[in-house]
């Protein structure tokens, strides 16, 4: 029977809703076995040094304790390095590093045993503070994932000399920590044949399997990673973390399954964070606002264990037209945990600096901030020279300006006051790459006329199951209720990580191909691989774009900042599911508002540890913190992306939001805040 209504574009409810609200959906730590044991971690109490004494006798004597795993008795890892080379030496690289694990019959016994393990250290003075003049700053070979570290085009000094208006300012962002609802957890089970099964909270079963297999010197087919439901990640679950290795090591030593769930406080040391950044922006423009020069220089940190260089200046390379452009990244390895992915790595902190500087340039030129951005719209990608597959930033800015009432904006800062409250509005652009990676998928026709579609995708709360169901339904020309999507298992056809906003584009391309091959063939099963399709993609610059608008109210007595309304307008190809897409956009914008006003992990330089490593001290935004958040989509018909015509939406919502807030606060108060978060005491001092 012909389908008269397309599934793609409909606001379909999440297909796993019932399982989640009834508790039937199992997360990593919720699987049980009769012979299950539990592990608790012991963490280093120094930031740099060597373990010179280790006493585990009291822990082993505790009833219920099965084993204590340390660097002295842990099995050797043959293919692990950096953060995953855990319990392999006596060296301590950061405070909070795993130095032992206690395995016991119950979680309570394991935790009590962990408290009985004592260690002595030969301690060294840690170096934990990022600064722009650090003597060990170096140029990394690349920035995440594989971008050139530095770029230069034209003559920067000549471009600055030709400018009639200038900006030369430094912007800073702090340590920021991913705090997904589900803590990181792993259950490790070794089979009699030497194979390993992990129930893991991960954003990618296939890549996690490969990394774990490499660490243990196993073939990929000897490792199975199961993760059908994941309670958020924001990038922190994009690669295996040390606790997953420890769970597998502990299961080897104990010779039984081991469950290891990190605590919220442990996550602040073990599961990654956004590096703090120090960013210098230099902009030059003619009197009519045409950019003559752009320079974006970034200083950030990594650990002494693993190099991670966030691509902070990369979005500046393609956002605006200028004949003279320079970007650079410099890194210093400190005695700290390794930073990693956090929602929109690179674009998020980088666009805070760039879009704040563009606002300052608009004021210097006497040009409306939206008009300045429009005047510097590039005809092609300034970095690669490739044409954009589609670029509707101007449409986002114009649409948002009309919807937000930008025309009513006060022409000068600090012009609107009602008692102790100042009011201002701000705008910023947002962007994120529209990527896809090779993926596989399988489609099968069942005897009852329904279909099963399988791919090792990950649904981390984004609605991946639902949108893949819609994509498959349209490809098969059947209603969504006749399609069941199976995902979250490395034994399924290989899929890339749920990260980089590339999940739907990558998995969906393989699903469409598999479904079409099933319909075109005579069998009941079809398998598809998009590797050749992705490799054959034409040379286009593929990016999503958006515009963020924010209104703030600032109390001149208390320094309190309120956000009564925010608007995001996004051009991200075709929207598969408006309901789940709206949630993604609002979630990203909420994180951006939190970044601007609340979130900051404070490092104690004496001990090299984070002071506010819990949800009491690390302030996350809640429903009551902000007013109305509205999102709009500018539909794009872009044939150069994938069979669905989609661009990723998971990350673009956070990009630009913090800059829009900072720009609005400046418009309200007349004072520019270049370091995030904008705190009450900063505002009070500025307005004194």
| Residues 66-121 pLDDT 10s | 999 999 999 999 999 999 999 999 999 999 999 999 999 999 999 999 999 999 99
User: Per-residue pLDDT averaged across 486-494, rounded?
Assistant: 98
Has residue 3 got a pLDDT over 60? no
Catalytic residue ranges: 651
* CA-based nearest residue to 507, from 577, 437, 444: 437
The rounded percent of the chain whose pLDDT value lies above 90 is 99
pLDDT digits (tens, 9 = 90+) for 180-204: 999 999 999 999 999 999 999 999 9
CA angle 158, 161, 166 (to 5 degrees): 125
Instruction: Let me know if 185 is exposed, middle or buried by CB neighbors in 10 A (0-12, 13-18, 19+).
Output: buried
Task: At 467, give phi and psi (nearest 5°).
Answer: -70, -35
Residue 616, CA distances (Å) to 178, 589, 599, 601, 687 in order:
15, 22, 12, 12, 29
CB atoms within 10 A of CB 592: 32
Positive or negative: CA dihedral 498, 599, 170, 167: positive
User: Per-residue pLDDT averaged across 651-677, rounded?
Assistant: 98
Has residue 206 got a pLDDT over 50? yes
Query: How confident is residue 1, by pLDDT bands cut at 50, 70 and 90?
Result: very low
Predicted pLDDT of residue 4? 55
Has residue 549 got a pLDDT over 60? yes
Distance CA 573, CA 580 (A): 15
Beta pairing partners, 68: 102
Query: How confident is residue 5, by pLDDT bands cut at 50, 70 and 90?
Result: confident
User: Per-residue pLDDT averaged across 484-506, rounded?
Assistant: 98
pLDDT digits (tens, 9 = 90+) for 361-384: 999 999 999 999 999 999 999 999
Q: What is the number of alpha carbons within 13 Å of residue 259 lying toward its C-beta?
A: 20
**In the block, residue with structure tokens 């006003």:** 597
CB 59 within 8 A of CB 118: no
- Global pTM value: 0.97
Q: Which two tokens stand for residue 341?
A: 């992915």
Q: What is the number of alpha carbons within 13 Å of residue 645 lying toward its C-beta?
A: 14
CB 208 within 8 A of CB 225: yes
pLDDT digits (tens, 9 = 90+) for 577-626: 999 999 999 999 999 999 999 999 999 999 999 999 999 999 999 989 99
């Amino acid at each position: 029977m012909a389908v008269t209504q397309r599934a793609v574009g409909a606001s379909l409810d999440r297909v796993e809703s019932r399982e989640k609200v009834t508790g039937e959906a199992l997360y990593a730590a919720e699987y049980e076995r009769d012979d299950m044991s539990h592990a608790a971690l012991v963490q280093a109490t120094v930031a740099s040094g060597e373990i010179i004494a280790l006493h585990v006798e009291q822990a082993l004597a505790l009833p219920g304790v099965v084993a204590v795993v340390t660097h002295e008795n842990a099995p050797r890892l043959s293919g692990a390095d950096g953060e995953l080379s855990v319990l392999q030496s006596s060296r301590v690289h950061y405070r909070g590093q795993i130095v032992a694990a206690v395995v016991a019959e119950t979680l309570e016994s394991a935790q009590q045993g962990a408290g009985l393990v004592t260690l002595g250290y030969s301690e060294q003075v840690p170096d934990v503070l990022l600064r722009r003049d650090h003597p060990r700053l170096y140029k990394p070979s690349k920035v995440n994932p594989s971008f050139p570290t530095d770029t230069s085009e034209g003559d920067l000094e000549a471009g600055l000399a030709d400018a009639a208006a200038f900006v030369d300012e430094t912007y800073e962002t702090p340590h920021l920590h991913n705090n997904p609802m589900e803590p990181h957890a792993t259950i490790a089970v070794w089979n009699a044949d030497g194979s390993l099964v992990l129930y893991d909270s991960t954003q990618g079963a296939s890549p996690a399997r490969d990394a774990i297999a490499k660490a243990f010197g196993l073939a990929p087919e000897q490792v199975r990673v199961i993760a059908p439901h994941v309670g958020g990640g924001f990038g922190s679950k994009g690669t295996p973390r040390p606790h997953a290795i420890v769970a597998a090591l502990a299961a080897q030593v104990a010779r039984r399954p081991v469950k290891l769930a990190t605590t919220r406080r442990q996550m602040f040391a073990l599961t990654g964070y956004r590096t703090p950044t120090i960013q210098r922006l230099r902009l030059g423009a003619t009197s009519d606002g045409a950019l003559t020069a752009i320079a974006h220089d970034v200083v950030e940190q990594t650990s002494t264990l693993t190099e991670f260089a966030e691509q902070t200046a990369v979005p500046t390379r393609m956002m605006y037209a200028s004949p003279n452009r320079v970007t650079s990244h410099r890194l210093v390895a400190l005695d700290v945990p390794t930073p990693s992915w956090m929602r929109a790595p690179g674009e998020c902190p980088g666009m805070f600096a760039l879009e704040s500087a563009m606002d300052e340039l608009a004021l210097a030129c006497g040009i409306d901030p939206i008009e300045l951005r429009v005047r510097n719209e590039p005809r092609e990608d300034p970095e690669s020279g490739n044409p954009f597959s589609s670029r509707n930033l101007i449409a986002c800015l114009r649409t948002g300006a009309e919807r937000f009432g930008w025309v009513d904006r006060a022409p000068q800062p600090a012009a609107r006051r009602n008692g102790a409250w100042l009011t201002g509005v701000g705008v910023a652009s947002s962007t994120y790459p529209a990527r896809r990676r090779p993926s596989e998928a399988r489609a099968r026709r069942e005897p009852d006329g329904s279909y099963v579609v399988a791919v090792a995708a990950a649904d981390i709360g984004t609605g991946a199951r639902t949108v893949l169901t819609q994509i498959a339904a349209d490809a098969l020309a059947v209603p969504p209720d006749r399609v069941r999507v199976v995902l979250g298992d490395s034994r399924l056809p290989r899929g890339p990580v749920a990260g980089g906003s590339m999940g739907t584009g990558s998995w969906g391309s393989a699903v469409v191909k598999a479904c079409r091959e099933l319909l075109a063939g005579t069998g009941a099963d079809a398998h598809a691989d998009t590797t050749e399709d992705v490799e054959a993609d034409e040379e286009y610059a593929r990016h999503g774009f958006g515009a963020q608008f924010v209104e703030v109210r600032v109390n001149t007595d208390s320094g309190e900042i309120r956000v009564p309304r925010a608007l995001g307008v996004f051009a991200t190809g075709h929207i598969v599911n408006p309901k789940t897409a709206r949630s993604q956009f609002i979630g990203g914008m909420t994180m951006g508002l939190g970044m601007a006003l609340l979130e900051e992990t404070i490092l104690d330089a004496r001990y090299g540890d984070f002071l506010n490593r819990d949800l009491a001290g690390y302030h996350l935004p809640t429903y009551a913190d902000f007013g109305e958040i509205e999102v709009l989509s500018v539909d794009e018909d872009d044939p150069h992306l994938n069979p669905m015509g989609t661009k990723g939406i998971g990350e673009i919502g956070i990009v630009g939001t913090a800059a829009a807030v900072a720009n609005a606060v400046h418009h309200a108060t007349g004072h520019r805040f270049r370091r995030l978060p904008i705190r009450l005491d900063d505002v009070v001092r500025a307005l004194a």
